Amino acid sequence: MRAAVVTTFGGPEVVRIVESEVPEPAAGQVRIKVAAAALNPVDVGVRTGVFGGAGQQFGLGWDVAGTVDATGAGSAWNVGDEVVALDYGMLKPLGTHAEYVVVPTDAVALAPKTVDAVAAATLPLNALAAVQALDLLELTPDQSLLVTGAAGAVGGYAVQLAARRGISVTALARAEDEEFVRSLGAARLVTGAVGAGSVDAVLDAAVLGEAALEWVRDGGGYAGVIPRAYPAPVRGVRVGAIEVRADGARLAELVRLVDEGALTLRVAEAYALEDAPKAHARLAEGGVRGRLVLVP
């Protein structure tokens, strides 16, 4: 099968399409024939060596939408099931940017029925990150939340999910994104500095760190989206960051929200798998609204 990998670190040009053996599912695993797989910033981190591992081959891709085509012992899935899944792992020899991928059976959920595979592939990583960060904050409906990077992939899901919980959401985004973030459920938009101590919590999808922490009231909460990358606690503010977890049951809940029209999936552009270097180059240009998606 074909797969996108890196064997050296650098720019988009280091992404290679290689031939590899089709992986076989072990007990408790399923193999998915990939229909589409999103490109995320974490893939850029792998490509550029942020996570280390020089001199090895690393596969790219965490999100997948496709069809189960083989199962290991103990799997609850059937060949032919249309599914989505999160293939967790910073450094792995193969990822979802391939023709086939093997994942744990409990990382899988049935695919949304109301969108195609390209759109469905944008859901797992970013939506799970958003909902797990909200869970970390433990906000109640009478509280307020600031979402930084609210027009981005994680931030957009966070706005929608928080608003659905009855939380008052302030979106930090560009002025030109006001209509969009309000359509997601944000009560108001801010485009610059927010008043010190003005919200109960911040979900820092833009990774602003200490600057965002200043906007949280004493005793409030801060949730980051990069593991171990969060500011030191001050004024009794609880701080932490999620390391996104594969969770098929939670993913199934998010799929249900997609089918109910409560979650907006955004595809910026689709690329053939062999054009993965071009997709990386486009992401590096910036200004992408939605996810770039690779199609084998």
Same domain? 44 vs 105: yes
Query: What's the N-to-C CA distance of the chain in angstroms?
Result: 10
Q: What pLDDT sits at residue 77?
A: 97
Q: What is the pLDDT of residues 241-278, one digit of tens each?
A: 999 999 999 999 999 999 999 999 999 999 999 999 99
How far, in Å, are 166, 185, 198, 258, 276 from residue 262 at the CA level? 14, 10, 28, 6, 31
Same domain? 179 vs 92: no
228 confidence band (pLDDT: 50, 70, 90): confident
Same domain? 113 vs 154: no
90 confidence band (pLDDT: 50, 70, 90): confident
Same domain? 157 vs 219: yes
φ/ψ of 144, rounded to 5, equals: -115, 150
DSSP for 218-263, written as a single string? EEEEEEESSTT--PPP-TT-EEEE------HHHHHHHHHHHHTT-S
Q: Which of 9, 29, 14 is nearest to 100 (CA)?
A: 29
Q: What pLDDT sits at residue 20?
A: 96
Global pTM value: 0.96
Which residues contact residue 154 at a Cβ distance below 8 angstroms, ignoring those fewer than 6 apart?
A: 126, 129, 130, 133, 205, 225
Residue 227: which CATH number?
A: 3.40.50.720
DSSP for 102-156, written as a single string? EEEGGGEEEPPSSS-HHHHTTSHHHHHHHHHHHHHHT--TTSEEEEETTTSHHHH
**47 belongs to a structural domain:** yes
Q: What pLDDT sits at residue 235?
A: 96
Q: Which of 220, 190, 185 is nearest to 206 (CA)?
A: 190
Supply 199's token pair.
């919200």
Same domain? 6 vs 80: yes
Same domain? 171 vs 274: no
Q: Which domain holds residue 139?
A: 126-241
41 confidence band (pLDDT: 50, 70, 90): very high
Residue 290: which CATH number?
A: 3.90.180.10
Q: What pLDDT sits at residue 233?
A: 93
Supply 146's token pair.
């600031």
Same domain? 140 vs 85: no
Q: Is the per-residue pLDDT at 106 higher than 90? A: yes
Q: What is the mean pLDDT of the chain?
A: 96
Which residues contact residue 7 at a Cβ distance below 8 angstroms, ignoring those fewer than 6 apart?
A: 14, 16, 56, 57, 58
**253 belongs to a structural domain:** no
Q: What pLDDT sits at residue 55?
A: 86
**248 belongs to a structural domain:** no
Same domain? 93 vs 140: no
Q: What is the pLDDT of residues 126-164, one digit of tens each?
A: 999 999 999 999 999 999 999 999 999 999 999 999 999
* Residue whose tokens read 């969108």: 115
Same domain? 136 vs 84: no
Same domain? 160 vs 201: yes
**159 belongs to a structural domain:** yes
Q: What pLDDT sits at residue 229?
A: 83
How far, in Å, are 250, 255, 258 from residue 265 at the CA level? 17, 11, 8
**274 belongs to a structural domain:** yes
Q: Is the per-residue pLDDT at 195 higher than 90? A: no
As a whole number of angstroms, the distance between CA 58 and CA 15 comes to 10
Same domain? 6 vs 118: yes
Q: Structural domain tally of the chain? A: 2
Same domain? 183 vs 237: yes
